Amino acid sequence: MGKKEARDRLVHPMEDTLSKISDGSLSPNIFPFYHVGVTIVAKASTAERDDELNLESPSIINGCQTITIAHEYLKALEKAKKIEAIERFNQIKVIAKLVVGTTSDEVKEITNANNRQNPIEDWQLFCNDPIHIEIEQTLKDAGVFYERQEGKFDAVMKNSDNPKYYFNTNGTYIKVVDLGQVVALARRELREAAKPSEIFLNKQNHDKIFDRAILRYPKDIVFCANLQKAIKRGLYVYLEQPTLAASTAPKIFQKPLVRAYLSRLALLYFYQNPDREWVRRDFSGKLFKKASPTLVDEMQKFYLKVVSKTKNWYTDESKGLTAEVSKRNMDLFFDGLEVELGIDGAGGSIPFSESSIDWTQYNED
């Protein structure tokens, strides 16, 4: 429970539920719907009273995390002598499955079954959040498919009547994680941009990225989705050059945080540069299934300006990749590159913000 991942994924969400119940803002009756409960195996059970069971050799085979987190939370309430909060806590009921009189082999299989779930990625847990339903409709109005549920694109497009509603989607769709990553880039949430899975570790992280402001910028979504493909593909192609392939560059640009800084630089460059207006016009209307070769070529020209500089600086700063480079020093270096490239990362046009591009100035196809 002390590990960061466990705190983000398990402890914080349950503590949030317990806090809201304890302070009276959430009914204790909601707890069984938020948390799946426990499974207990015992050799035998007898009913002492209608509301009481006597278990022989009980063992918890699923739900130890629930019990541990709740126990620690209750200890903190008791230490602080929060009487009313404790009374509300004591109203919580937990669903429990009791397995009695099974063989050791059956217990083993029950244990495996109770702890074996279909692999569900964290982002899928948010698929029915209202913001994703609204993004789905906003993009549908623009003729673009937003796959907020795994496999929904294939299921919807099987119906011959549906493709006509997605006239700008071109056989592809925008992924939830990709959208989260590009919004994080635009808002300089670089840790989440470097590791977008962290956006979906808990509701707090999720809501910081996926706010209602996104709904106002469907053109930003489409343009940034196309640009994102070219940023990734363009860097891969650029690093294949023999002089770079034989240098420290591949190792440097494998680092997620370095790639996030570089990706943000590219995003703002193509979003702001007055000489790239044609890029914004050509790639903001419809979705491209793969990175456009034209846009990848443009990305090569951009990387010519920044990749070698970044490689040389990072190699020196890290003493030949033997030491970590601080985020503060990375901020300073990439802020300097912004100035060199004519990018205004603070007051200029930024996607998904009040200073977003006025897309009405671009001719519609």
- pLDDT single digits (tens) 261-314: 999 999 999 999 999 999 999 999 999 999 999 999 999 999 999 999 999 999
Q: Where are the domains of the chain?
A: 4-117, 123-361
Q: Dig out the tokens for 47 from the structure.
A: 């009913």
Q: Measured between alpha carbons, how far is 226 from 292 in angstroms, rounded to an integer?
A: 8
User: Is the model's pLDDT at 101 over the cut of 60?
Assistant: yes
Query: What pLDDT sits at residue 23?
Result: 92
User: Is the model's pLDDT at 204 over the cut of 80?
Assistant: yes
Secondary-structure breakdown of the chain: helix, strand, coil percentages, each rounded to the nearest 5: 60, 10, 30
Contact status, residue 256 vs residue 326, Cβ threshold 8 Å: no
Q: How many CB atoms lie within 10 A of CB 293?
A: 10
**pLDDT, the chain, mean:** 90
Query: What pLDDT sits at residue 143?
Result: 96
Q: How many CA atoms lie within 13 Å of 263's alpha carbon, on the beta-carbon side?
A: 35
The interaxial angle of helices 12-22 and 64-80, nearest 10 deg, is: 50
The interaxial angle of helices 218-238 and 130-141, nearest 10 deg, is: 90
Contact status, residue 144 vs residue 166, Cβ threshold 8 Å: yes
Q: Measured between alpha carbons, how far is 344 from 113 in angstroms, rounded to an integer?
A: 54
Q: What is the DSSP string of 124-144?
A: GGGTTSHHHHHHHHHHHHTT-
Contact status, residue 193 vs residue 184, Cβ threshold 8 Å: yes
Q: Measured between alpha carbons, how far is 101 from 41 in angstroms, rounded to an integer?
A: 8
Arithmetic mean of pLDDT, 2-21: 75
Query: What pLDDT sits at residue 115?
Result: 65
Query: What pLDDT sits at residue 241?
Result: 92
Contact status, residue 45 vs residue 98, Cβ threshold 8 Å: yes
Query: What pLDDT sits at residue 365?
Result: 47
Lowest-pLDDT choice from 157-161, 221-225, 279-283: 157-161
Binned at pLDDT 50, 70 and 90, residue 25 comes out as very high
Binned at pLDDT 50, 70 and 90, residue 49 comes out as confident
Contact status, residue 22 vs residue 49, Cβ threshold 8 Å: no
**Model confidence over 63-100: pLDDT tens digits?**
887 888 899 899 999 999 999 999 999 999 998 888 88
Lowest-pLDDT choice from 174-178, 262-266, 323-327: 323-327
Contact status, residue 110 vs residue 104, Cβ threshold 8 Å: no
Give Cα separations from 355 to 177, 344, 350 (angstroms).
Answer: 24, 11, 6
Q: Measured between alpha carbons, how far is 272 from 356 in angstroms, rounded to an integer?
A: 10
Q: Measured between alpha carbons, how far is 235 from 237 in angstroms, rounded to an integer?
A: 5
Whole-model pTM: value is: 0.74
Burial 200-230 (b: 16+ CB within 10 A, else e): bbbeebbeebbeeebeebbbbbbbbbbbbbb
Of all residues in the chain, the percent with pLDDT exceeding 90 is: 67
Binned at pLDDT 50, 70 and 90, residue 113 comes out as confident
Q: Which residue has the higher pLDDT, 38 or 310?
A: 310
